[in-house]
């Protein structure tokens, strides 16, 4: 969940003008969605919290502060515990029952921005943890058992057998002598000398232990599958990914893990923050380009392809890199190493 929340949090949300496709930076909602939804939270905090609530609870509720029919002044997240239930009336309008202090306040649906995950009734999001409690519970139980198993010393590193029956004091003296001589990381690989006919054995991983470890790995894979996160992003898995496989895992995570939630949030913003008139002028858009922020080579190659195909001009590419424009950079032209000159109509033959 942390991987998903941090990934969504770093994606900037823009309001785009429908006609010009330019960013509507002067519109009052742009600041709240892109930089700061309220005085105490940044956009990073807000969108990370949104993703965390959707992943863990299935719902994220935001109260829109402002007078009805007037621009929204700020966006205030509501704790999921405060929303008692969502009621849908016969005319399909919604009312949110929110606990404020010691009483429950009824808030009309037009004052709430409601982000849902998977929904089965169109009103409430499904709690993914509740639906996957058996898988997550098995993983938690396995982790607890593993801690108790090794914490109580039931899996010794070595077993020393003595042919004689030792007294309590002799047993304590022998244990102390062997521990002082050989125990500890700094005394590994030292030559061990044992006498009096003693024998030493090093317990191997039993079949039961191997099955338990496999079960732990299986539980990790199931939880990662629930949140659509590749195992490599949580530093797990049996094999270290190659460069090619890591690149493919990252692309798959962006396509099937992050993009569906981003599109969902864009639709929620359009539905709950924009009026019918505003929807004709603006639309929200998360920029997935931020996923390439640490990959300089891929960014430069993408710009090169875009400029050569006349999809973007050089100054637009420079703007994406926060660099100032230069004279002549607004021209759309193919930039290749060689340019073929057009031949004259007569083929260039001399008369």
* Percentage with pLDDT > 90 across the chain: 37
112 and 57 belong to one structural domain:
yes
Q: What is the pLDDT of residue 338?
A: 43
Task: Report the SS3 class of residue 75.
Answer: strand
pLDDT tens profile 71-107? 899 999 998 889 999 999 999 999 999 999 889 999 9
Q: pLDDT above 70 covers what percent of the chain? A: 74
Q: Say how far residue 59 (Cα) sits from the centre of its chain.
A: 17
* 125 & 88 share domain: yes
Q: What is the domain range of residue 301?
A: 295-351
Number of structural domains, the chain? 3
Query: Whole-prediction pTM value?
Result: 0.68
Alpha helices in 152-206 (DSSP H): 168-182
Establish if 151 belongs to a structural domain: no
CA distances from 153 to 14, 90, 160, 246 (A): 56, 63, 15, 38
Are residues 9 and 110 both part of a single domain? yes
Q: Give SS3 for 191.
A: coil
Task: Tell me: do 333 and 288 sit in the same domain.
Answer: no
Helices (H), the chain: 2-9, 28-34, 43-56, 128-131, 133-151, 168-182, 207-226, 243-252, 259-273, 276-279, 296-308, 314-320
Confidence at 341, pLDDT banded by 50, 70, 90: very low
Examine residue 233 and state whether it is found in any structural domain, yes or no: no
Same-domain status, 116 and 165: no
């Amino acid at each position: 969940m942390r991987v998903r929340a941090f990934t969504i949090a770093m994606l900037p949300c823009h309001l785009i003008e429908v006609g010009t496709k330019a960013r509507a930076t002067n519109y009052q909602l742009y600041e709240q969605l892109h930089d700061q939804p309220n005085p105490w939270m940044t956009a990073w905090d807000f969108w990370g919290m949104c993703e965390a609530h959707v992943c863990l609870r299935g719902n994220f509720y935001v109260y829109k502060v402002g007078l009805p029919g007037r621009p929204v002044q700020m966006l205030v997240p509501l704790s999921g515990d405060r929303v008692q239930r969502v009621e849908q009336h016969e005319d399909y309008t919604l009312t949110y029952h929110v606990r404020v202090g010691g009483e429950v306040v009824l808030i009309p649906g037009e004052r709430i921005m409601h982000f849902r995950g998977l929904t089965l009734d169109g009103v409430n999001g499904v709690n993914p943890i509740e639906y996957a409690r058996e898988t997550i519970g098995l993983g938690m139980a396995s982790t607890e058992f593993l801690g108790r198993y090794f914490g109580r010393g039931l899996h010794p590193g070595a077993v020393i057998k003595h042919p004689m029956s030792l007294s309590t004091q002799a047993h304590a003296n022998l244990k102390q002598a062997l521990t002082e001589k050989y125990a500890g990381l700094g005394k590994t690989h030292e030559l061990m000398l044992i006498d009096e006919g003693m024998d030493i054995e090093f317990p191997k991983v039993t079949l039961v232990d191997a099955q338990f470890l496999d079960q732990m790995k299986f539980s990790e894979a199931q939880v990662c599958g629930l949140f659509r996160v590749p195992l490599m992003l949580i530093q797990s898995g049996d094999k270290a990914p190659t460069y090619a496989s890591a690149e493919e895992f990252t692309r798959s995570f962006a396509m099937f893990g992050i993009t569906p939630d981003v599109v969902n949030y864009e639709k929620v913003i359009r539905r709950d923050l924009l009026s019918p008139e505003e929807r004709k002028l603006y639309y929200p858009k998360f920029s997935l380009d931020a996923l390439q922020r640490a990959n300089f080579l891929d960014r430069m190659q993408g710009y090169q392809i875009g400029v050569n195909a006349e999809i973007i001009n050089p100054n637009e590419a420079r703007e994406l890199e926060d660099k100032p424009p230069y004279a002549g950079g607004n021209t759309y032209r193919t930039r290749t190493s060689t340019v073929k000159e057009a031949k004259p109509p007569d083929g260039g033959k001399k008369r």
